[in-house]
Amino acid sequence: MDLKHSYSVKLNDGNLMPVLGFGTFASEEVPKSKAFEATKVAIDVGFRHIDAAYFYQNEEEVGQALRDKITDGTVKREDLFYTTKIWATFLRPELVRQCLERSLKKLGLDYVDLCIIHVPFAMKPGEELLPNDASGKIILETVDIRDTWEALEKCKDSGLTKSIGVSNFNHKQLELILNKPGLKYKPTCNQVECHPYLNQSKLLEFCKSKDIVLVAYSALGSHRDPNWIDSDSPYLLEEPILKTIAKKHNRTPGQVALRYLLQRGVVVLAKSFNEKRIKENFQVFDFELTPEDMKVIDSLNKNFRYSKMSFAVDHPFYPFLEEY
């Protein structure tokens, strides 16, 4: 990954992915119009990689922002790299294409650049994103991720997506797909939580050995949505060591956290709906952390996960019980 001259990495299928992406997830109380405005700002400041998902329920707004920016001449469609994700209620192979087609319809696009399986565990199909039983527990079901993958391969062959990948998979689940008889396409990437408190060094090494790109979400720590995150979680950007290194480089702790991942060969997603911070998050290509800085930040790792998805802990495909 050449961070000086090219801001993209070549995927194992030959397509290029910009190494810095803009995240669009927001918790329910944030008005959907915010995603529209923020995505336009992100494109204006230079982001070309936009990460979204069926589950986020804001693809109409994000799609409108992309189309506005294409119409006003800021970008061409081929300059943009758009990711969507197949949600857990669509993991049955016969539902995969339907989920992607719904996203495309909302977006007003005829293809996405990347479509990934959002999580390895399936939920009961239907219109509810989080199907609950009478006691309020999420209803899970078992679908073989190899069958889901095969359906995703067909979406690529149909031209609905240029590249395909996975998210929240551990190395054994990646192996399952890589060793699948009749595999047509390898996953191009595995999008996982990754930041200085959970630096994923073993999973990163594994992915690199298989020519799979590791894409980091919650790279700046995390949103504080109480539905997903424990309220006593640490604030990554308040970390004194990051503050010290940031001061030394005349940067923000957020910029240091992003740069740290980029220098390790990780593709990074930066989520903010605040104009000033969206601009700051893009300014990570004109400074470099020293090997000493990198070592010190490495030492912050405590395998702390913001998004544990504990409701699925008993599912056979729950990903986070493995070491990596």
Catalytic residues, by residue number, are 56
Q: Phi/psi zone of residue 265: left (φ > 0), alpha (ψ -120 to 50 degrees), beta?
A: left
How many other CB atoms are there within 10 angstroms of residue 269's CB atom? Answer: 26
Residue in 156, 233, 154 with CA at minimum distance from that of residue 193: 233
Q: Phi/psi zone of residue 213: left (φ > 0), alpha (ψ -120 to 50 degrees), beta?
A: beta
**Pair of tokens at residue 267:** 């593709």
Residue in 255, 263, 322 with CA at minimum distance from that of residue 291: 263
> What is the Cα 160 distance to its own chain's centre?
19
Is 223 labeled as ligand-binding?
A: no
Q: Phi/psi zone of residue 250: left (φ > 0), alpha (ψ -120 to 50 degrees), beta?
A: left
CA 199/CA 261 separation, integer angstroms: 8
Q: Per the annotation, where are the binding residues for substrate?
A: 118
Annotated binding-site ranges: 118
